[in-house]
Structure formats: C-alpha cells, structure tokens
Structure 1
Amino acid sequence: MAGIELLPIPMATSDRIDIYSGVARMAGKVWGALHRADRPSRTVAMMVHPTSNFMGHYLLEPLAARGIDAVGFTTRYIGNDSALTMENCVLDVGAGIRYLRNLGYEKVVLVGNSGGGGLAALYQSQAESPTITHTPAGDPPDLTTADLSPADAIVQLMAHPGRAQVCGDWLDPAIRNEYDPFDRDPELDLFAPGRTLPLDPEFVARYRAAQLARNDRITQWAKDTLAELAAAGGELADLPFLVHGTTADPRFVDVTIDPSDRTPGTMWGPTEVANLMPASLGHNCSLRSWLSQWSVRESNGDGQRHLARISVPALIMYGTADQVCFPSYAQQMYDAVPHDDKLLVPVQGGTHYLKDQPEHVDFVADTVVSWLDEHGIKA
C-alpha cells in the first residue's frame, strides 16, 4: 500500500449552530483518510456514515491492497448526532465526492456501512434527481440547488435502510412517561418477568404498533414545541431533549424473528442494559434533529424510497451473524433497487463490524473488488 493521506475537504457550513465545536464550525471542513494503492487507481471507494469516524475503517487497507484507493469519511457530526440533520450529511458527502473527482478519480464508489446505508441511498437519490427542498422542520438546505455529483456505484455493507426505520424498530413502547424510563406498561414490556421465548406473534404485533405510536407521539410533541418557539418570536429556535429506551427491538431477544446465525443480545451487550445505557442509539436529540433523522413520519432518510430512485449498480452485503442489521434489512434494500444490476451477498458468520474475523474482511474486500471489476469500475 502506497500510504495514507489526510484529506481536508471544504464543506458548506450552516447558519444554524448544530455542532458544539467553534473550531470545527469555523474551519469549514470535513475530513477523510485516503488509503492509496501501490499503483495509481482511477477508482476510489468512499465509506460513509452520518456520525461514525470511518477514517480507521476495517475495509480501507484491504481495498488499497487490492488496487482500489479507499477513503474513510466523516461528516460534520462525527461522534455526535444530538443535533444532526440528514440533509446536511448529504451536503457533506457531496463535498467529499466532489473533492475526490477534483483529485482526478474517474469513478467513485459510495460504500454505506451500518447507518451509512440510509445515507448512501439518500445521497445517490438526490444526486441523480433531487427533490428535497428543505428539512422536515422547514430549514435549509435545498438539495435541488446543491452541487451533488452522483456516485458510479453503491455498496451497502452490513447496513440498514435508514435511521428513522431503525428508531421505529428499536424504540421501547413500554415507556409511558418520557421523563421516567422505569414507568413501564407491563403489557408491552419486552423484559417483563415471565416473558417467554419465542415471543407470541400477537404480542409482537401489538408491540410494533405501540412502537410506531410512541415515535409518532414524540414527533407531534417536537412539531408542537417548535411551533410554540416560533410563536414566542424570540431567537431560540430549537431545544434538546432525551429519549429513553432506544434499543428494544424484539429481534434482539428472540432470534426466531428475522432468523439468522446471530446470538441474542446487542453489540452493546445485554438488550435490557443497552436499551437505557447512554452510549447506545439516539438518546440525545433536538427537536429539529428528531424530525430529520428519527421520525418515521417526517424524516427524509427513508432508504427504501431512495434506493427505488437510483440507476447505478448496487451491491448489498450482510452478515448472517449481525446483531444490528438483520437479513430483512438487506432484503428490503435489494428489493427496493428498481433495476436488475444488483447483487445480494451474505457474509456467512459475519458480525456487524467483522471484529476479529479477518477471513470475512478478506471475503468482503474480494467480493467488492471482483464486482467492481465485472462492471469496469476497477482500478
């Protein structure tokens, strides 16, 4: 491998303060780590996620070793999604792809890993035929006027279709009081004493309906509160809030639902603990951010809807032992792609980040490179 290069990528800043660091805001840059192959490559793969730091992504070195330059990319929201808007993430990805094309790359492959799957789908949809003129809260950016260069291919790797869908699938419906995670409805409590496995299908159906109802209640409260702030006429235009119980998908405890090779539990540990621990999914929000990334009804980040609008080749890979992104997520994304130039590939025994699974990392890298070669996109 020829080496690693830090990329300072100029990006369009927002008038709204949505990241805490003043240095980061004033710098007007997002960052990427470019791993170069030993020989010049005309193709580059860019790994994306709304918040994760992919500059150390496990696939960067393997792709470079196989002749494909690779970039681990970060958005402006690296490590903090509390005030994230998906539409700004699209601008950041656009800045990254534009930067890479200006470096001389002829082909750019967009790799959405984990939560990057929904972002990759949203980006490509809006780059090919933009429709989004504002966030769900009515704010900029207008993606129909943005400079978004379409990727030449999409890879979805251990990915899900979007943050709002995941929030809808994982939200704990037993919580009755948004300020008290221990005020619980025993009829909807996944962790209630005596709850047996496999879960009763009737319970699961009620549970799913209650999850959507809770997501909708939070959405309506966020919209009402924003309206109250606007009516007050002051400068305050957003508020933070806390969401308890964000990791309670029944599939975490019952592996017969959406069956796969996974073990029960989550990548953060036991489900009941992960459900409330601060470091798991989406506990810290703002009103505007909730509508953009977590609201099932309002978010623009519906990966299935956006994948249905893309024209480029799509490779979708999923781990059969993944505790985060289940086989049905991969199937949903595959089915959504409207053309036949798509491929669905299981990684047998693969976990979410292929930790301590070097043979699976090699399989993924080999599959990506051979697929690109078949499409004339290889270096």
Structure 2
Amino acid sequence: MTVEREFVGLPSPVVGRAGAGGHPCQGVYYRPRGSKPDVAIIATHYNIDFSEHYLADLCATRGVGFLGWNTRFRGAEPYFLLDHAVADIAVGVRWLREQAGVERVVLLGNSGGGSLMAAYQSQSVQPNLEPEYGRASIVHAAMELPGADLYISLAAHPGRPEVLTNWMDPSVISEDDPLSVDPTLDPFDQEREIPFTKEFVDRYRQAQRRRNDRITQWARSEIDRLVAAGHHDRLFTTPRLWADLRMIDGSIDPNNREFPSCYLGEPQRANYGIYGVGTVSSLRTWLSMWSLSDSQCNAAPHLARIKIPALVVEADGDSGVFPSDTRAIVDALSSADLTTHTLEGDHYLRDREGAREDAAELITNWVKDRS
C-alpha cells in the first residue's frame, strides 16, 4: 500500500505567521493513497519535530491516518508555554475532523509528548490550566479544546519537571560554573561504589529536588527584578542534565537497557556537554515546563482526568524511561479500558529490526478494535 503525504500549514490562535511566510502550526498528514481514513492519530512533542515520525508511514500503510503535528515551539524549547502549545494542538485536531474527514481522533504521546498530550486531553475535558507566576491569565484559545477519542502513551516520560529533575546532576555547586562539583554528590566520582548504596540514592534524589527548587526560586525573583526594570524575560543555561543514577547503575529500576548509557551515549560525557533537554530556558518557560513546584507539565494530574480508552506501551531496553515511570502513568490513568504492553527495544525502537513495525501493528490493531 502506497502512502500519500500532505503538508499542512495553519494559523495559530496565539501568534501570527513568520515574516518569511511560514505558518506557526505545521505538520504532515499521512494516509493510504486515494483513501480518506475515518480514524487518525495526531502526534506532537514539546519541541521535537514530529512531522516525519517513524510511525507515520507504518500506521498509514495499515489504514490509519497519521498527522505528525508541530506547534510553534518545534525547535524552540527555550520559549515554551503550555497553554500556547495546547491551543496549537487544537488546530491540528480540528483540521483532522473538519478538513480530513476524520471521525475518531487518537492522541499519541510519544516520549516527552506523553505528558503534553495528556495535558491537552485533560484541558479539553475540564479546563484546569492556571497562569504561571508573573502571568495574569492563560490564552483564551486554550480554554476551548476539542477532545480526542483515544489516548496512547508510547515510551513516555511521566512529565517534563519529573524527567529533568531525575536527570539533573545535584552535585553542581554553582549554576554559573559547569565544572563546580560537590564530591559528596558526584555520581561519576571514581571512588563511588556501584551499585550505589541506598543512602547515596536517597540523598542524591533529595538533592536533585533541592536544585530544581533553587532554580525555581531564582527564576521567580529574577522575573520580579526584570519586571521592576520594565522588562519581561531572559534566557539562562542549566548545566549537567544527564546524571540520572539509573543511567549509570542498571540495578536501579532494572530493565533490559545497556548501562552506563543515555540517549546521547556515555552519561558522564553527555553530562558535561551542551546538548539535552532544558539546557537553555527562559525564566517563564522554566516555570511553565521544568519547575517541580510550578509546572503543569507533570502528567499525573492530567492522566487522572483521562477516561477515554488508553494504551500504554513501554520499551524494555529504554535508557531514559524506566519501569517505574511507566507504572506511574498506568496508575494515574482513569481509563476503564486500559491496555498495557511491553515491546522489545530501545527508546526509539531502532536497535531491534522490526521493532517499529511491531509498534505500528500493535497500535493500529488496538485503534481499529475501538473504532
């Protein structure tokens, strides 16, 4: 079966078109050539471009439409605001129903997109988003979202603030010095015993939360300082964010992953590099996306409002989403029709031949059984 691809560029209810002409909301719709599927998946991430998602062609060849959809924050993580993002996702959902002729819409929350799509469905059911510190209100377009019919969590993290906090290195002494290290918390210290002791793990996790809280308090006070001077926001960097103990010690939250490893390879090298989630942020984006105390990008409260049928899929060799993360998602969902499945493979389902095909077969069969 051949696949037909259609580029979709649409206005956002929040911002205008770029000066060069590009629409803020963009994506690619995949469908079997010459057909008009009555059920389609929409997949969106906080900032990663999903227009060429690895499941798109595979789902379309199995008769299910697939809209790889991007909000205006694709490639623009430092400026993310949750209410703006869900308003842009609604543009894609409406297009599927009103232009593509889709009767049943499936939200696919893959990787970081799991909590984002959960927030979307949650907000469509019961508007609950609140303005972050320093903002008077959320955008009106985020208050009226068309809901979906099915929800899928695929190799998904339990929330943006949770994943960043679990990954951050709490041995950082000064946020302005990426080489500053408290040796009592350094997971890469050559004298550190592995497997890590329970005492060290507990102390490390507490220190991670304290680091997140310190950045939040600084961000709030910095907003106050800037506003008092007549300004709105600023960017800042957060160093050393590849230090989840589970990336180093495979006995913690065990699965079939290789270790030490992370999505960028060797954790210590990645930890002192410049790539990764949350490395650059505005003050307001920190509060909207990364702050444990302020962010509404944590999945659990949103998952609790999801009662539509749900499928939760984990990869057994994932080095960034761990079994306890998946259990937290399953436990938080309120769906009476809830299916769980474990696939053999890594986070991106690249390492095992046929893993992506298996995922597409699982997902499309599950969707068709409920259509």
| TM-score in terms of structure 1 length | 0.93
Aligned residue runs from structure 1 range 103-114, under 5 A? 103=99, 104-114=101-111
Match of 1:59, as an amino acid?
L
Instruction: Give the counterpart of 1:353 among 348, 354, 366.
Output: 348
> CA offsets per residue over residues 289-345 of structure 1, 9 Å max, x none?
100000011001110111001121110101000112112111111110123211111
Conserved? CA contact 2:84–2:142, under 8 Å: no
In the TM superposition, residue 99 of structure 1 has moved relative to its aligned partner by 1.4
In the TM superposition, residue 58 of structure 1 has moved relative to its aligned partner by 0.7
Instruction: Give the counterpart of 1:124 among 108, 121, 125.
Output: 121
Instruction: Give the counterpart of 2:25 among 13, 21, 30.
Output: 30
Aligned residue runs from structure 1 range 153-302, under 5 A? 153-232=150-229, 234=230, 236-264=231-259, 265-302=261-298
Instruction: Give the counterpart of 1:364 among 356, 359, 366.
Output: 359
Partner SS state of residue 176, structure 1: coil
Match of 1:30, as an amino acid?
C
Conserved? CA contact 2:133–2:220, under 8 Å: no
Matched with 1:18 is none
Evaluate the alpha carbon distance shift between residue 309 and residue 3 of structure 1 in structure 2; reply closer, same or farther with a 3 A threshold.
same
In the TM superposition, residue 227 of structure 1 has moved relative to its aligned partner by 1.1
In the TM superposition, residue 276 of structure 1 has moved relative to its aligned partner by 2.5
Superposition RMSD on alpha carbons, in Å?
A: 1.7
Match of 1:241, as an amino acid?
F
In the TM superposition, residue 357 of structure 1 has moved relative to its aligned partner by 3.2
> CA offsets per residue over residues 232-255 of structure 1, 9 Å max, x none?
2x1x11011110111110000011
Identity score, percent: 35
Aligned residue runs from structure 1 range 43-54, under 5 A? 43-54=39-50
In the TM superposition, residue 14 of structure 1 has moved relative to its aligned partner by 4.3
Match of 2:283, as an amino acid?
L
| TM-score in terms of structure 2 length | 0.95
Matched with 1:307 is 303
Match of 1:364, as an amino acid?
A
Instruction: Please list every run of 5 or more consecutive structure 2 residues that lacks an aligned counterpart in the other structure.
Output: none
Matched with 2:56 is 60
Instruction: Give the counterpart of 2:82 among 81, 86, 100.
Output: 86
In the TM superposition, residue 22 of structure 1 has moved relative to its aligned partner by 4.6
In the TM superposition, residue 94 of structure 1 has moved relative to its aligned partner by 1.1
In the TM superposition, residue 159 of structure 1 has moved relative to its aligned partner by 0.6
Distance 2:238 2:339 in 1: 37
Distance 2:36 2:61 in 1: 12
Partner SS state of residue 300, structure 1: coil
> CA offsets per residue over residues 8-49 of structure 1, 9 Å max, x none?
12212349xxxxx9537x755311111112432101101110
Conserved? CA contact 1:130–1:143, under 8 Å: no
Conserved? CA contact 1:2–1:35, under 8 Å: yes
Conserved? CA contact 1:107–1:151, under 8 Å: yes
